[in-house]
Amino acid sequence: MALLNRRATRNVLSLAAWAISLAVVPAAIAGGIDDKDFSLRLPAALSRFSTYADVGAVGGASAGSKWASSVNPASTAWLPVAGELDLTLTLQYADVRFGENQSLHVASQAVTVDAGEVGVLLPAFAQVRSNQATTRQGLDFRFDLDMVQVQWAKKFSDDFAFGANVNFAKSRTQFDFGVADVSDSAGETYGFRFGALHQMADHLLGGLVFDYAFSRDRTTLYDFLGLGIGNARIKDTTHQFILRPGVSYEYKKDSVVYLDYQFASFCNDTGRLQVHRFPMGVDHSVFAWLFVRGGVMIDVEGSVAWTTGVGIYPSDRFSIDVMYQDDMFPELNREFGRSRTLMVSVSINF
């Protein structure tokens, strides 16, 4: 047992050293992102968003997590669903504020249900609303998004679980110049996510998540300068692929070190954007009812996002998680500046 623990620890440390060494590759090698079209940088930024505060507080690393809040669908079935009715209700709110006074308000609702032999089901909804503020380019920006998802997972043995997620989102993005419309984009995104979670050794979990999504977008470019050229209407489809392997090492009961790697590719008629990210963090149990968390997400562009948070679990029926993130969305810095994110998640077991 001790030998396995030492081997698991060495594996985690080796992966951490490997991730850090890759993350400091000069940006000149990786190529910049500022020259990429906004239609690519926006979904790239949104793919960083953590839908649960406990995950966001550890840098977004969770592909190898045992908790149902993980980005890995398989994690939903790894532990028994709490409560007498095997049902958990989770409500969340996030406030994302940018340096140029743009704000994104994100609310989500999720229900986790143990359906017995069928597996564990997790339907969820999310709503994103922005304020109207002026970008660094002098344009007013507005953004709205509504999403629905259905997730399923099943634990097939003591050391293996598999899960899948289907989601749909409808969004609208607008840029204005004073009272004049500059552009108006509407789109529907269809997403599919698959994940596996495996007990690699004592206290060591490994996970793998694959995402594919495509968005059918329709954009109207207005002749807001009155040049007489008329409005232009563009139809395009954006594809995105995300691969996320990750590990977690539980060094004491419910105290965990997380390390992920993310490769993502976004492409449409304007070009292609590829990103390499390394989320990592620690979730430490101070008491059975109190957790402190910290993490970082780094990428080969040289961007570093710091995260922190706490988890309070006063009873088996109720929990609250709070997280803070600094500069988590560098893909949008060109228009909006540096971001700061605050999220609160509340879970009730029935």
Residue 32: pLDDT band (50, 70, 90) is low
Greatest alpha-carbon span in the chain: 77
Count of domains for the chain: 1
0.85 surpassed by pTM: yes
Burial 258-283 (b: 16+ CB within 10 A, else e): bbbbbebebebeeeebbbbbbbbbbb
Question: In terms of Cα–Cα distance, which of 301, 326, 254, 255 is closest to 36?
Answer: 301
Is 63 a residue whose pLDDT tops 90?
Answer: yes
Which pLDDT score is estimated for 25? 35
Q: Percent of the chain at pLDDT above 90?
A: 86
Each residue's pLDDT tens digit, 232-291:
999 999 999 999 999 999 999 999 999 999 999 999 999 999 999 999 999 999 999 999
Please report, for the domain that includes residue 283, its CATH number: 2.40.160.40
**Which amino acid is present at 77?**
A
First to last CA, the chain: 37
Supply the range of the domain harboring residue 59: 2-349
Question: In terms of Cα–Cα distance, which of 81, 159, 158 is closest to 122?
Answer: 81
Whether the Cβ atoms of residue 136 and residue 103 lie closer than 8 Å to each other:
no
Q: Percent of the chain at pLDDT above 70?
A: 91
Whether the Cβ atoms of residue 153 and residue 73 lie closer than 8 Å to each other:
yes
Which pLDDT score is estimated for 225? 86
- Neighbour tally for 92: CB within 10 Å: 23
Bin 299: left if φ > 0, else alpha if -120 < ψ < 50, else beta.
beta
Each residue's pLDDT tens digit, 98-149:
999 999 999 999 999 999 999 999 999 999 999 999 999 999 999 999 999 9
